[in-house]
Copies of this chain bind each other. A is one copy, B any other.
Amino acid sequence: MILDKTDKKLLKLLQDDSKQTNKALSIELGLSVTAVFERIKKLDANGIIKKYVALVDKKRVNKGFVAFCHVKLIQHSQDFVVSFEREVAQLEEVLECYHISGDYDYLLKVLVEDMEAFREFMVKKLTRINHIGSTHSMFMINEVKHTTAIEL
């Protein structure tokens, strides 16, 4: 699917606030309500828009402590990789996990309440997973920018 200028503008608006009414969007875009409705339907159907979600303020729910964990596996056989990935994906503290290039194999973004909880997480959950060689953690001091909106 090819996105024209209007689609991109529409996506920008929806990535910023998905609760706007089609009417408000139609005014912003200079289109009819129906046209907006159809464009959104198409963006949904084509999977351009994956889902609509509420974003929760992590500080207000006591998950203000963010850690980034680099993880290296002992071995890189298919089995090890698959089972590590399956297990790590199930950990509720892990919001993101990427297989990356470089010295370490994985980069994890971990959300917990505080350092104490992080220690618990490391000891009782992450390092309990087999095949982990070494880990290296960094802690968030300040969040400079955090958006879910992709510029188009």
Contact = CB atoms under 8 A, between A and B. Distances in A.
A68 B149 CA distance: 17
A111 B149 CA distance: 11
Number of copies: 2
A123 interface: no
Contacts of A61: 3, 11, 48, 150, 152
A147 interface: yes
Interface of A: 1, 3, 11, 14-19, 46-58, 60-61, 63, 66, 68, 85, 88-89, 92-102, 106-107, 111, 138-152
Nearest first, the 8 closest Cβ-Cβ pairs linking A and B are: A92-B151, A14-B54, A97-B144, A99-B142, A102-B138, A97-B145, A19-B52, A99-B141
